[in-house]
Amino acid sequence: MNAQTPAALSPYSSSAGKASRTETHTLSVLVDNEPGVLARVVGLFSGRGYNIESLTVAEVAHAQALSRITIVTTGAPETIEQISHQLERIVPIHKVTDLSLLDGFLQRELAMIKVRGKGEARTEALRLGEAFRARVIDATTESFIFELTGAPKKIDDFVELMRPIGLVEVARTGVAAITRGPQGM
Amino acid sequence: MSKTMTGAEMVVQALQDQGVTHLFGYPGGAVLPIYDALFHQTKIQHVLVRHEQGAAHAAEGYARSSGKVGCLLVTSGPGATNAVTGLTDALMDSIPVVCITGQVPTHLIGSDAFQECDTVGITRHCTKHNYLVRKIEDLPRILHEAFYIARSGRPGPVVIDIPKDVQFASGTYQPPKNIQHKTYHPQLKGDLGKIKHALAMMAKAKKPVFYTGGGVINAGPAASTLLRELVAQTGFPITSTLMGLGAYPATGKNWLGMLGMHGSYEANNAMHDCDLMIAVGARFDDRITGRLDAFAPYSKKIHIDIDPSSINKNVAVDLAIVGDCAHVLEDMVRLWRSESLSADKKALADWWSQIDRWRARKSFGYRKSDRTIKPQYAVERLYELTKGRKTLITTEVGQHQMWAAQHFHFEEPNRWMTSGGLGTMGYGLPAAIGAQLANRDALVVDIAGEASILMNIQELSTAKQYRCPVKIFILNNEYMGMVRQWQELLHGGRYSSSYSEALPDFVKLAEAYGLKGMRCSNPADLDAAIQEMIDSPEGVVFDCIVDKSENCLPMIPSGKAHNEMILPDTDEDIGNVIDDKGKMLV
């Protein structure tokens, strides 16, 4: 089955500490919206030394009290497989889907970006905002707040462009993700 | 039949309905209503321990020796935190335990109230699941669900934290029904296609070995019976982890002995050289595998386990079958027969003759002495003199534990209770009490060390109170022996804090607790003394004075492979065998 998969990294593995193929995966986790469920998920990651790049959670079905957690994690493929299995052991978790193993999925993130500047810098910021289809949601004579939605990369790019112009701060929601096509998870 | 009652009464009713016969516990402010409800009934015997850790280990001993869910009741705050070690132990060794903890009233939660602690927060990492019951309406469901989760799939401990106001509140009790849990449905049946594939691999194997673990014991006695049948059908050699001892009888002809760090030479070499490994209910723990990149390098691996996260965790396998051992073994036995499969007899004969050459090294051998009692000899004599009885063995943790595993031989499952995963010193005495209460007809012996036994020595009082005639067989070498051994091997013989100084007089200690105390230091007297211990109707503390400097061998030094064992007769300076990387691994 997994003949080619090398042993997962553990302190007892001779390859521990060496760089291995690191991948970034997006996991969708459907959970009962009950107290402590997020702590169970986060505790699993910290307790077993897994990475969390981004984590978002919100209720998605009020009547059934279901929440959806989207986790972006990095690790060797066998580590990510292990993460999925470990998540499945948590009792109030209904389903774990590794979206990155599926045909296609969309991920979006919302960011609010505060930029400060006058004169030319101000117009430049506005111009770039338009190019990125960012909305201005607050303005003063010396600042803007942009609202930008998109894939994380797009937000990264925009933030980098704003930095020399007068970036003050950024607030990001983290990634929400969903599969393409008619099927649910 | 639903009935109106208080939360405290619901707890007791639910325990009765779940078939609990013994409840290990310690009262306190936050569980008084439950203790009051216990006062009014006779179906459940409450066993008052002397420390909550003892309650948890006693529940484990009860569970492991009976196959039922063990149950404990402790108060909030220190009651709950004292139970944490036992809960972690149960999690690591997959023992079904339900732990009910009291909690301060809901309106005081978060206020740093007297004896308040965040029990669900603290136990989240050391339980399979836990609950804080906020409403009386949820209590009956949670009580029954907790038992379902504790015993289903890969078993484990479950905590139910019940605030005192919920214990006083009244509500409608629902008896247990067939629980249709909304998320937790472990897969019991293995995939038939994969099972057939596994059998085909087995039929072709030239150097196969069964590597079995605690999962076989957890799957119930039927799993052990089926395992024995499959071993007989195939003629394959079989070894087992510490946790799996007894699933296959130690007198069975295919038995290689335990494997791993202190396992037999033949078992470890068979693992190293095999071309097909069939892992059943075992989890490739680091004490088993040794150096991972040299682990069974020539083998294909089949892994049967109920927990998908155990598969490919430490070792990548070629064929994974997720399912309950008993179900999968049943299908394997049936299909091996119905498809008229047979092993490669010629190859197997060669494999066995290789194994016999390894066996001839007699790796559990030791130098006998007529002046001091060798610890191995003590266990050997205990085994010989208790043969033919229903004997249950518990242990503490350390050298004595490994000697017990090597030299006491188990014919049946559920007769051997030891702390494997967590390695908890202080496990054996409370576990022995739990095992004795579940098996009144059995001889229960805690093979202990003089250091470990002191960790939960207060439970002698519990043994006395409940007339548990447990025998505490202390291999007293005046050292934390395993620590001393590692210091000899790795730290130049600097025995930092490992000498058991200021030891109590165990004979007087036993007498102080109202038990029988005995001491033996002469090999010539040992048999008679052990016989006297066995024949005693009371609990006995047996202070067996053994050789102080004996090392536990054979041994795979940490960071080494299965075929790099140190044998008892190896003259090499063992301190040089372990490199710096190995030292880190402990």
- Mean pLDDT, rounded, for B471-485: 97
Classify residue A183: in a domain, yes or no.
Answer: no
Mean pLDDT within B230-242:
98
Q: Do A12 and A89 share a domain, yes or no?
A: yes
Once rounded to an integer, what is the mean pLDDT over residues B359-363? 95
Task: Give A-chain residues touching B191 at CB under 8 angstroms.
Answer: none
Is residue A58 in some structural domain?
yes
**Chain B residues inside the 8 Å CB shell of A2:** 312, 316-318, 320
Query: Do A43 and B289 lie within an 8 Å CB cutoff?
Result: no
Instruction: Specify the residue for token string 């017990």.
Output: B404
Contact (CB, 8 A) for A113 and A138: no
End of a domain among A101, A117, A146?
A101
| Per-residue pLDDT reduced to its tens digit, A108-124 | 999 999 999 999 999 99
Q: Is residue A182 part of a domain?
A: no
Tell whether A110 and A97 lie within a shared domain: no
Rounded to two decimals, the pTM is: 0.94
Which CATH number goes with the domain that contains A82?
3.30.70.260
| Claim to verify: residue A114 and residue A55 sit in the same structural domain | no
- Final residue belonging to a domain, choices A66, A101, A136: A101
- The residue out of A50, A72, A101 marking a domain boundary is A101
- pLDDT classification of B559: cutoffs 50, 70, 90: confident
Query: Any idea what the CATH number is for the domain that residue A157 is in?
Result: 3.30.70.1150
A95 and A122 part of one domain: no
Residue A12 has pLDDT above 80, yes or no: no
Q: Are A9 and A79 part of one and the same domain?
A: yes
Q: Is residue A17 part of a domain?
A: yes
- Same-domain check for residues A95 and A132: no
Single out the catalytic residue among B43, B45, B114, B387: B114
Domain that holds residue A158: 106-177
Query: Is B52 a catalytic site residue?
Result: yes
Within a domain: residue A47? yes
Residue A77 belongs to some domain of the structure: yes
Q: What is the pLDDT of residue B586?
A: 64
CB pairs under 8 A between A and B: 81
| A121 in reach of chain B (CB within 8 A) | no
Same domain, yes or no, for A82 and A159?
no
Residues 42-71, chain A: which have Cβ within 8 Å of B?
43, 47
Mean of pLDDT values over A20-36: 94
Among B124, B292, B309, beta carbon nearest to A7: B292
Mean pLDDT is lowest, of A171-180, B169-178, B404-413, for B169-178
- Looking at beta carbons, which residues of chain B come within 8 Å of A9? none
Percent of chain B topping pLDDT 90 = 94
B292 touches A at CB < 8 Å? yes
Domains: count for chain A: 2
Give residue A13's pLDDT.
Answer: 45
Confidence at residue A103, expressed as pLDDT on a 0 to 100 scale: 86
pLDDT given for residue B569 in this prediction: 73
Helical residues (DSSP H) of B169-264, grouped into ranges: 192-204, 214-218, 221-234
| Identity of residue B239 | T
DSSP track, A87-102: HHHSTTEEEEEEGGGS
Do A153 and A71 share a structural domain? no
Query: pLDDT band at A14, cuts 50/70/90?
Result: very low
Mark whether A93 and A160 lie in a shared domain. no
Closest alpha carbon within chain B to A30:
B183
The pLDDT score that the predictor gives to residue B178 is 74
Q: Is the per-residue pLDDT at B293 higher than 70?
A: yes
Compute how many other C-beta atoms are within 10 angstroms of the C-beta atom of residue A62.
9
Half-sphere exposure of A161 (CA within 13 A, CB side): 18
pLDDT band with cut points at 50, 70 and 90 for residue A2:
very low
- The answer to whether position A185 is within a domain reads no
| Per-residue pLDDT band at B576 (split at 50, 70, 90) | low
The pLDDT assigned to B289 comes to 93
Please tell me the distance from the alpha carbon of residue B89 to that of residue B104, in angstroms, as a whole number.
Answer: 26
Minimum CA–CA partner of B145 in chain A: A91
Residue of B125, B151, B183, B560 for testing the chain A interface, max A β-carbons within 10 Å: B183
Same domain, A6 and A95: yes
Provide the H-helix boundaries in A55-116.
77-89
Three-class SS state of A160: helix
B580 reaches A (C-beta below 8 A):
no
CA angle B9, B10, B12 (to 5 degrees): 65
Chain B: give the shortest CA distance to residue A32, in Å: 9
Domain identity same for A27 and A80: yes
Average pLDDT over residues B283-289: 94
Quote the percentage of chain B above a pLDDT of 70.
Answer: 98
pLDDT in tens, B315-356: 999 999 999 999 999 999 999 999 999 999 999 999 999 999
Are A14 and A86 part of one and the same domain?
A: yes
pLDDT score of A11: 42
Q: Identify the residue with better confidence: B177 or B402.
A: B402
Average pLDDT across chain B, whole number: 96
